[in-house]
């Protein structure tokens, strides 16, 4: 018997056999080795056994790009609150400025303005040239001597009074000589002397200026006139630069006002623009140029008088060769405008 065979009396199994029915020795050895190292049973009988299932883990959330990383909500809240606290005083200052200067600029204009524009919008240092009491006094006139009207009125201490210039400081003025007739500056000085006599307001000559003559101008121009309200501007123009002069309009004039902390409005600047076409008009019967009465009329607008229907007064909107100077009603209105309130806060 071969050493590699075993007797045929071995119990039947599924081992491979030789044609004679014998099982080779190497088959028996391999079967014994597999029997002593049998694997653990698995439900599906597979070999090798399947890997044990892993516990479930949700998929990771997508990560933002580095520039898009966000802090936890509670970490964002603290810087936001700090920013609001720091911004509160600035917001209060902005609100106070807007409340004190409603006539100068809107909030949107202020936010978009340059530093120079913001400086111009803020106005000059208050009280420049302001005395403790009126520096002049209007004359005593008959308040019923003729018709007059004010451009604007307001309530002060329970009484309705005209908006006026501060009588406690002088009114500065400048003249643009471009296009003006010879002697125009002297005529301006003469007319303002008449207004001083009628109002008590004092005028100071600021000399010549190259500021373009227009009624649409800023009341505060620190780069041109320094840290004070812009002086009253007087000069000639045509309808190209001042469209309101189109047609038969001989001139325009008016003041600019601001309000103080007590909401009382005060005139601080103004302009008189005469139409160059009036230079070609014939002189009046007394030999004076026709534009001189227009100058008086427009200066009265700057002081605060409005038009009246009475044709006997200079403030009637229709020019008349018979009325070229201030009349009783005009003087009564001018006297009232000389009794304005002082404005040390402007």
Which range has the top average pLDDT, 17-26, 104-113, 239-248, 267-276? 267-276
> Exposed, middle or buried, 258 (CB in 10 Å: 0-12/13-18/19+)?
buried
Query: Are 288 and 324 within 8 A, CB to CB?
Result: yes
What is the percent of the chain where pLDDT is above 90? Answer: 58
CA distance 214 to 275: 11
Query: Any idea where the domains of the chain sit in the sequence?
Result: 92-122, 153-337
pLDDT tens column, 137-159:
999 999 888 999 999 999 998 89
Q: What is the CATH number of domain 153-337?
A: 3.40.390.10
DSSP label at residue 231 = P
CA distance 298 to 272: 6
At 266, is the pLDDT very low, low, confident or very high (cuts 50, 70, 90)? very high
The pLDDT, as a whole number, for residue 136 is: 96
pLDDT tens column, 91-129:
665 565 555 555 454 445 545 555 555 445 568 999 999
Q: Phi/psi at 174 (nearest 5 deg)?
A: -135, 155
> Exposed, middle or buried, 284 (CB in 10 Å: 0-12/13-18/19+)?
middle
| CB within 8 Å of 191: residues ≥ 6 apart | 292, 295, 296, 299
User: Would you give the end-to-end CA distance of the chain in angstroms?
Assistant: 136
One DSSP character per residue, 72-122 reads -HHHHHHHHHHHHHHHHHHHHHHHHHHHH-TTT--HHHHHH--HHHHHHHH
CA distance 291 to 236: 10
CA distance 267 to 308: 21
CA distance 100 to 38: 99
pTM recorded for the entire structure: 0.67
Q: How far is CA 279 from CA 119, 237, 271, in A?
A: 39, 11, 19
Q: Which residue has the tokens 């909107």?
A: 317
Average pLDDT, the chain: 80
CA distance 292 to 278: 10
The pLDDT, as a whole number, for residue 52 is: 46
The pLDDT, as a whole number, for residue 122 is: 67
């Amino acid at each position: 018997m071969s050493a590699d065979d075993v007797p045929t009396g071995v119990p039947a199994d599924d081992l491979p056999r030789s044609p004679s029915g014998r099982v080779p020795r190497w088959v028996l050895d391999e079967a014994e080795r597999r029997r002593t190292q049998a694997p653990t049973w698995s439900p599906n009988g597979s070999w090798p056994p399947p890997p044990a299932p892993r516990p479930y883990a949700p998929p990771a959330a997508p990560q933002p790009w580095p520039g898009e990383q966000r802090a936890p909500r509670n970490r964002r809240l603290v810087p936001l609150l700090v920013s609001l606290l720091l911004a509160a005083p600035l917001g209060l200052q902005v609100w106070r400025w807007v409340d004190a200067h409603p006539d100068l600029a809107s909030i949107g204009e202020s936010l978009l303005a340059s530093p120079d524009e913001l400086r111009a919008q803020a106005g000059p240092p208050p009280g420049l040239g302001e005395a403790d009491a009126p520096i002049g006094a209007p004359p005593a006139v008959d308040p019923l001597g003729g018709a007059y009207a004010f451009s604007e009125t307001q309530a002060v201490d329970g009484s309705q009074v005209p908006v006026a210039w501060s009588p406690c400081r002088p009114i500065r003025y400048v003249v643009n000589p471009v296009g003006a007739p010879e002697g125009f500056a002297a005529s301006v000085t003469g007319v303002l002397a008449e207004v001083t006599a009628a109002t008590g307001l004092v005028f100071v000559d600021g000399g010549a200026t190259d500021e373009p003559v227009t009624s649409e101008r800023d009341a505060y121009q620190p780069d041109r006139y320094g840290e004070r309200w812009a002086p009253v501007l007087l000069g000639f123009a045509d309808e190209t630069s001042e469209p309101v002069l189109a047609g038969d309009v001989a001139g325009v004039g008016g003041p600019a006002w601001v309000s103080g902390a007590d909401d009382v409005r005060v005139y601080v600047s103004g302009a008189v623009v005469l139409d160059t076409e009036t230079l070609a008009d014939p002189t009046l019967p007394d030999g004076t140029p026709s534009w001189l009465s227009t100058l008086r009329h427009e200066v009265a607008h700057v002081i605060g008088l409005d038009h009246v229907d009475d044709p006997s007064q200079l403030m009637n909107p229709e020019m008349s060769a018979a009325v070229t100077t201030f009349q009783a009603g005009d003087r009564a209105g001018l006297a009232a405008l000389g009794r304005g309130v002082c404005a040390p806060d402007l």
